[in-house]
Amino acid sequence: MNANHIRVLVVDDSAVVRKLISDALAVDPEIEVVGTAVDPYVARDKIVALAPHVLTLDLEMPRMDGLTFLRILMEQHPLPVVVLSSLTRSGSDQALEALRLGAVDVLGKPGGPYSFGDMGPQLVAKVKAAAIARLHPLRATNPAPPVLSAIRPLNSGGARGPLGSPCALILLGASTGGTEALRDVLTRLPGGLPPIAIVQHIPALFSRAFADRLDQLCAFRVREARDGDLLEPGHAFVAPGNFHLLVSLQGGQYRARVIDGPPVWHQRPAVDVLFKSAVDAGAGPQVIAGVLTGMGKDGAEGLLRLREHGASTFGQDEASCVVYGMPRVAWENGAAQQQVALERIPDYICHQLELADASHATLARVSP
């Protein structure tokens, strides 16, 4: 055993899936599968005996279900966990609950002919991200109340200017740890904001459940984006898993474009694709864009282009990130104007919108 390897314990009741996971991880020389477990009781003993750095965890197992085990694990012996969940609505809901309980990331389980196919490299990437993840305390089920803000509601009286203008837009991108970070941010924002477009690196089918859960918790509507959607104020749009989300300006209003296309930075959807499309659509000073927790570089190039065109840009700070990867690159390349702690991001967004509104009002008074 190599002391520098990432030590992984595979927990799954299926012998076939355990072998598939083990084989997929064995391809990478930096990862070592130190053991497997058929259920949480066996896993408990092997955690003590083998001291793994990361667990992969099935959620449907005999004797004790994965969610119960995860809850106990995070309370008594916190470890980075990558959840493998079935690609169904029930499986998606369970996976989101696992992320709330402290799992670092989620991946769809192999099905059909029992082959990981393209999912093998994704599993390797998620395990590597989990190995350097900063674990955070369990989030509360009930979100905090929206932040107080002096922003005028966009749907009252037809207010115009940067907040009421079709050019006002909020763009957010995240990866590892992002589902809960976005939940923390969005549930504390007030209603009546400009449209919000979101890219979260998330598997296909899970994105719909993610958007639906946010829709139940937020002060505005949240849904999975569809091609051609009008990006209206008071709405947030989540990129569908395995599709890129872009924005285009048509008739003075933003619309969503949902397309296939090659992965960017090994991701589809990719944050850079969204950010760069906003620049191509004429986004400027009335746009606020930020990169949240995540592994890799996605979003940094697009965020820099947005800043160069006058947008307000930020990155989540290191202390509050699960993985300080994407925000770090965005800070180092000059794309992020500020680094902001997760709990301060809602206030930051509202403050930037208020500054834009004040600036527009000043310009309106001095214009002939």
Please tell me the class of the 6-131 domain: alpha beta
Average model confidence (pLDDT) for the chain? Answer: 88
Backbone angles phi, psi at 108, to 5 degrees: -70, 140
* Residues annotated catalytic, as ranges: 175, 201, 298
What per-residue confidence (pLDDT) applies to 363?
47
User: Residue 297 in contact with residue 326, Cβ under 8 Å?
Assistant: yes
Residue 142: per-residue pLDDT: 54
pTM: 0.89
Confidence band (pLDDT; 50, 70, 90) for 144? low
pLDDT at 316 > cutoff 50: yes
Q: Is the pLDDT of residue 365 over 60?
A: no
Percent of the chain topping pLDDT 70: 85
Given a cut of 50, whether residue 24 has pLDDT beyond it is yes
Q: What is the mean pLDDT of residues 185-206?
A: 94
User: Which one has a higher pLDDT value, 279 or 357?
Assistant: 279
Q: Is the model's pLDDT at 161 over the cut of 70? A: no
Q: How far apart are CA 239 and CA 299, in angstroms?
A: 14
pLDDT at 250: 87
| CATH 3.40.50.180 domain span(s) along the chain | 161-366
pLDDT of res. 351? 93
- Residue 120 CB contacts under 8 Å (≥ 6 apart), including other chains: 24, 27
pLDDT at position 165 over 70 = no
- Residue intervals of the chain classified under CATH 3.40.50.2300 are 6-131
CATH fit for domain 161-366, picks 3.40.50.620, 3.40.50.180, 3.40.190.170, 3.90.76.10: 3.40.50.180
